[in-house]
A and B are shown apart, each in its own frame.
Chain A
Amino acid sequence: MALSNEYIQEQLVAKFGEQVFAFSTATGMLSFESSKELNLKVLQFLYDEPSLGFTFLTDLCAVNYPDNVGAELVVVYHLHNLKENVRVRYSIATSIATPDIFTATKLFEAANWMERETYDFFGVNFVGHPNLKRILNVDEMDYFPLRKEFPLEDQTRIDKDDEMFGRG
């Protein structure tokens, strides 16, 4: 039988109850959230459960919502079930002051570099990662570029004409 979004939702709620919330199927893919302590438990459950079998981590990234005080950084996992071709999106929110998330490298090898990239650009500290250092940027950088507080361009330049750049 084809794995449906309702079935995945039922299984998750049966196992974790109120701790998984914000279920939504916009864009056809089930997406849900939970708190960051349940991180590894939810991933392990989605991996091990024979009827679910989400054994492929497609993507791991973060989003910065500067307006949600206390939940500014959201780490998003995209999981894929290769046999049934079903995807699921799992996000966990964390505060920007203590951005510590348990690492998924023991479960998924691909999470290794993806977590390094998320650390490099957003500053999310993955607890237990074997080699958490910057991967794409220079090692000496001391800021996190993709956070919204970091400006896109050099604000001290006065010679750029905004009209020409579509922002006039």
Chain B
Amino acid sequence: MEANQNIILPEGSIEKQTTTLNFGPTHPATHGVFQNIMEVDGERVVSTEQTVGYIHRAFEKLAERRPLYQVTPITDRLNYCSSPIKYGLAYNLRKILTN
């Protein structure tokens, strides 16, 4: 076997005391939204590094050019609870527009 066929580990991988786990975007608990790369010592999480933005779909940019009736179906699809929260939006919009 030649030397360049061996696996090359990142620096300090052999000596370090913590395990690196990927609590990735495709996990039942993250709902596909974010990724955590966790340093775990046994069962205790020591530190994490997050990557958010997997669910970013540019709603704000879309809403720049669309009238209200076209934006409301988009806001329904923001997250699980956003459909009922639409009533709060309607209440406040009415306050703003009639003031």
Residues of A within 8 A of B (CB): 26-28, 121, 135-137, 145-146, 148, 152, 166-167
Task: List 8 A-B pairs, Cβ < 8 Å.
Answer: A26-B99, A135-B52, A136-B56, A152-B61, A152-B64, A152-B65, A166-B67, A167-B65
Verify A145–B61 contact, CB threshold 8 A. Answer: yes
A137 to B61, CA, bound (A): 13
* Given A152-B64, A166-B66, A145 contacting B58 (CB threshold 8 A): yes
Smallest CB–CB gap between A132 and chain B, Å? Answer: 15
Contacts of A121 in B (CB 8 A): 60
Q: How far is the CB of A66 from chain B (nearest CB, A)?
A: 12
Tell whether A137 pairs with B53 under 8 Å between CB atoms, given A152-B65, A166-B66: yes
Once the chains bind, are A146 and B60 in contact (CB under 8 Å)?
Answer: yes
A166 to B68 Cα, complex, angstroms: 12
Residues of A within 8 A of B19 (CB): none
CB distance from A117 to the nearest CB of B (A): 9
Whole-angstrom CA separation of A44 from B56 in the bound complex: 32
Bound-state CA distance A12–B67 (Å) is: 37
Closest to B95 in A: A27
Q: Contact between B61 and A166 (Cβ–Cβ < 8 Å)?
A: no
Instruction: Give a binary string over B48-92; 1 marks a CB under 8 Å from any A CB, 0 the rest.
Output: 000011001010111011110010000000000000000000000
